[in-house]
Structure 1
Amino acid sequence: MSKKLMVKCLALVLMFGAAFNVALANEMPTCQEAADSMSSYGESGDCLYQYSRAKMLSVDRASGVVTCQAVMSRECPDMPGENTSGETIEFTAQYGIVTHQIYGDEGY
């Protein structure tokens, strides 16, 4: 095999690999999708939790883990004193499934 042909093949493999990585990156779930999954399962007792304005803080493409931030609101019809809105939370999700909610006092 000539050197020119080997270089062309290598360039083709690299271009295909880059296109494949872009396709995989587009397949990763977004933070909003993960937040929406928490909202749909967010009923706890008499309260309903909703998450909005989710944004990605970091991503580990190899493991499919994203760290996200969202704004949480809690509505408790039977306990209005427990209602909250505008609280910022952070969480990690792997392949669109929330795996861990990060609390501000962790590590202390």
Structure 2
Amino acid sequence: MRRKRAAGEPQWFFRRLVAIGVIGFAAWRLMMLESAPDTRVNETIAWGWILLMATVVLGYLGFASAQDIVAIFATRSGTPYAALDDPTDPPERPSEPPRNFAG
């Protein structure tokens, strides 16, 4: 069941799409290096791809945490993206003016 997104809550779809794309490409390149000759250059390239994947994952999580911290400070609330509660008391009706009965 999907929950309705509260106002101001960040969308994760595009971030997740980019992160998964970069990690998938890096993993594919690492698989291509598996059958390559064992040289110092290929070892350096493999370490570069592994560092790229680690940077993307840590950046994805780190920037999300930083965005949440900024929202907490901005709203001064521990749950900055929580939906506002509905008021429990109905709004008061304006009082009717007294009727003047002439007798």
TM-score normalised by length of structure 2 = 0.31
Greater gyration radius: 2
Structure with the higher fraction of residues in strand conformation: 1
Q: Which has the higher contact order (CA 8 A, sep 6+)?
A: 2
Higher helix content, 1 or 2: 2
TM-score (ref. length: structure 1): 0.30
